[in-house]
Amino acid sequence: MTMDTYYIIDSSSLIELNRKYPIDVFPSLWKNVESLIKTGFLLSHEEVYKEIIDGDDQLARWARRHKRLFKGYDEDQLEIVREILVKYPSLVKADNEKASADPFLIAMAVMHLRDKQTTLFKSKKGKLIVTEEKLRGSRVRIPLVCKNYGIDCIDVLEMYRQEGWKF
């Protein structure tokens, strides 16, 4: 692990992680994930937490035990969320009754880019959003919005590679 890499993980990656590498079958992988959480190098948002605990499965139980992964928001972050949604209204589905985590994840990364004194991260290097969403033309999804804000996106497998994890 490089001490400069911070990951902001989307629900799609946590769900994919659990689907392909279940906690009960790949405990060492999940211990590595938990180590990133403990050291503060893996973050997510409380809106991701809400998406995950909707399911009554192993991942939901895991999320409840690792609540420190999921950070809340403040007024500054809400302002960035509003800015994102003005620029990219189709990032969230209008018929969705619940908040979408996507603009909140992006806002976490944008706050870091804008605030040199941020306490969320210790350095300016390696700010990555981990998502299974892919950049596909002009379809408004996390990777497109991140690209326009200068934020890198990777998938969960690339996070393993960057961390040098071998199983």
Query: In the chain, what percentage of residues exceed pLDDT 90?
Result: 68
Q: Under a CB-based contact definition with an 8 Å cutoff, are residues 76 and 98 in contact? A: no
C-beta pairs of 90-97 under 8 Å, 24+ apart in sequence: 90/140, 91/140, 91/141, 91/142, 91/145
- What pLDDT shows up at residue 155? 95
- What pLDDT shows up at residue 115? 63
Average pLDDT for the chain: 87
Q: Which is higher by pLDDT, 117 or 60?
A: 60
* Per-residue pLDDT at 88 exceeds 70: yes
Q: Which is higher by pLDDT, 138 or 66?
A: 66
- What pLDDT shows up at residue 23? 93
Q: Under a CB-based contact definition with an 8 Å cutoff, are residues 44 and 71 in contact? A: yes
- What pLDDT shows up at residue 117? 47
Q: What is the pLDDT of residues 132-154, one digit of tens each?
A: 999 887 778 999 999 999 999 99
* pTM summary value: 0.86
| H helix runs in 21-116, sequence order | 27-38, 46-53, 58-65, 75-87, 102-114
* Per-residue pLDDT at 4 exceeds 80: no
d(CA 102, CA 105) in angstroms, rounded, equals 5
Q: Which two tokens stand for residue 3?
A: 């001490």
Q: Which two tokens stand for residue 44?
A: 């997510």
* Per-residue pLDDT at 123 exceeds 80: no
Q: What is the mean pLDDT of residues 53-71?
A: 93
Sheet holding 42-45, edge to edge: 70-71, 42-45, 6-9, 127-130, 152-154
Q: CATH says 6-163 is which class?
A: alpha beta
Instruction: Report the half-sphere exposure of 118 (CA within 13 A, side-chain side).
Output: 18
Q: Under a CB-based contact definition with an 8 Å cutoff, are residues 61 and 34 in contact? A: no
